[in-house]
A and B are shown apart, each in its own frame.
Chain A
């Protein structure tokens, strides 16, 4: 007695965990709680969510609502204990549900299809009857053709008063659902592996700088196990606008003092080394970069002599073959001239870099002015010399997202499995068909019976097509 009761309690829990009802409840719970998670900003500063709450519910309710949300972890809900618990129950639900059903389905798949009696065919959901002229044996080829035209490959048995064809198709499509369900577990496992054994960080690397670590959210250092250097960074704009078309970093990996890998990366085109991937994510000016950056000029005198020069802020250069010299007096990362002819810097990104150079030397017409990198027409000097502003190197940093995620391939594998599983589960069906021919007063009575687990209407059309082929042939015989 005692034991039976205990067993039934466990049974109840088991049944509960195996039920589709629980699955539905979990779907609803995850959806509803996620909605809250999209309204409140996750992992944001308290003030921000306070503002959102008071906008939605008024100033007076906001503080207490905030405290409640805070307590239940809604400010970081996707990492909270109860959301994790929900996902665990979800997984357990899938596992137990599959354990409960898979053996039965497997038996169904393995069980061979066998011929049926007339009565049982008539009891099937889809069944048709048609009389063909002539004895069953004379109609055999006709029947076989009709079946073949519906793309069934049939088995055949001889019976006392006739014969029977029977066949099944798409038996293994029954497993599609289980592939789908299993893939969910695979994806979750991959995500857990990624969280457990991987990291997410960032690294702002100025041009020319080397780093052996990335940083996580709290400015915690994560050692990489190798060095990475940013050789160059460049932004390409759409025409003369400030809308970036592409930005690119040229990176070098240095392991034990040796350069082992060189690659340029851009958005959507990352670099991976030893399982760590570097993504181009942002860029900006190095603060107080004035002393750090190097100006690259190509100098061309009016009689064609050319030389290249690299300079720092405040340094001077000489146009080759002349006594004209220039001195870098000012720099702006993004220069614009307002309507009064007054130059100012309009952005702290290097959208339109410009140098102010004062020239002095032989001629009387000394000149000083702004040379803009994106506007070659400013490179021409009044006396025919030309100063091409090639680059300002070292002033910008490239913003890299750094990630190591050993689970990502498992996640992708799960995704592929899920897609395949879904296509099988929803687009394929398990169909069985029986066609029995019986002699009936020197004619043939043909019974067609069929079942399918899905998309009955389509199968019904197919069977009617078989019947109508038979009818047509019959009329041809007449």
Chain B
């Protein structure tokens, strides 16, 4: 099921790029979306039967695999809404690949797709509401990330401009991390060592390789990539300019996505999370890394909302904040599990 949707989104992407067969692309995206919806519901009822916990409790949202799938679902839903509202399809060329990539990532990593039994702490309606709403907000935030980034690409020109350096760096690092993780996965698949957890394998093929040569080589490559992105960033700009996207519209979508995601994140991510922690552990706030990172994310988006009110912060500066905000989201979601440890062990497999 993940395959089908991924492929469809890719085809959609290609269709967008080659000729403006927009209607076909939209249809494909919608078809993929419906297929995914059906698959999610199927899995849901399967789990409901298996666990005998009642329908609502067994929502497919309990591990990394399911939550990623749900995230993709939200993202596509959000995109379809935007396409509908702004009557602009070119934007899809940037969103559908993200969705496709996320699904491919799930497939490649071989994140356990098994329907797993739940440890007692995870059996809570609050948790369910918490995770669901968090992911809706994450999808909104990732929307604002891509529009914010595009805004920066569009509106910066000089190579020594700070915001230009910022976006090329972000873009480059993004690319490098994805590439090296891809490498990890490939070698991991080839060597198939089921006893080693993939988590401990991260970056072993490149930056943390035991061999010094490979290590130096990967760092060198990384810097060269960064330099290339920085040097030729304007190419991307002309590409974006070809699609009829203008900066004001991007700025507006960025703001709208954040304004939509922020209250949902507040209620679902922070408040429901706190209530769940209170029920399960007897503390509504314990400053554990995951909670703290959610708070950091929240503050960054509050920073964005208020930043727009201070004169001179329109445009580029707040776009930078929206990009930083999404980096915090990703760190909250993946980084804390992979790099830091804490109470929240869920979703770490």
Contact = CB atoms under 8 A, between A and B. Distances in A.
A31 B119 contact: no
A27 B303 contact: yes
B299 A31 contact: yes
A3 interface: no
B303 A24 contact: yes
Interface stretch (B5-13, B225-233, B274-282): B274-282
A247 B117 contact: no
B267 A268 contact: no
B348 interface: no
A108 interface: no
A281 B300 contact: no
Given A20-B310, A426-B263, A35 B296 contact: yes
B306 A23 contact: yes
A99 to B, nearest CB: 17
A212 B279 CA distance: 23
A457 B249 CA distance: 11
Interface of A is mostly: helix
A37 B292 contact: yes
Contact of A426 (B124, B262, B270): B262
Interface stretch (A121-129, A389-397, A417-425): A417-425
A38 interface: yes
Interface string B271-296: 10011001111111101010011011
Q: What bracket does the count of chain A residues touching chain B fall in?
A: 35 or more
A423 B259 CA distance: 9
Interface string A88-114: 000000000000000000000000000
Contacts of A23: 306
Contacts of B336: 38
A7 interface: no
B340 A39 contact: yes
A401 B275 CA distance: 16
Contacts of A267: 120-121, 123, 280
Contacts of B271: 415-416, 418-419
B296 A24 contact: no
B120 A247 contact: yes
Interface string B139-177: 000000000000000000000000000000000000000
Interface in B110-124: 117-121, 123-124
A38 B271 CA distance: 20
B280 A24 contact: no
A27 B299 contact: yes
A314 interface: no
A401 B282 contact: yes
A23 B306 CA distance: 8
Nearest to B339: A39
Interface in A201-257: 238, 241, 243-247
A279 interface: yes
A39 B340 CA distance: 7
A34 B120 contact: no
A42 B287 contact: yes
Contact of A411 (B280, B284, B292, B303): B284
B252 interface: yes
B93 interface: no
A266 B266 contact: no
Contact of B259 (A28, A30, A38, A426): A426
12 contacts: A20-B309, A30-B295, A38-B292, A38-B293, A38-B336, A38-B340, A245-B120, A267-B280, A277-B282, A279-B279, A415-B267, A418-B271
4 A-B pairs with least C-beta separation: A422-B263, A279-B282, A267-B120, A401-B282
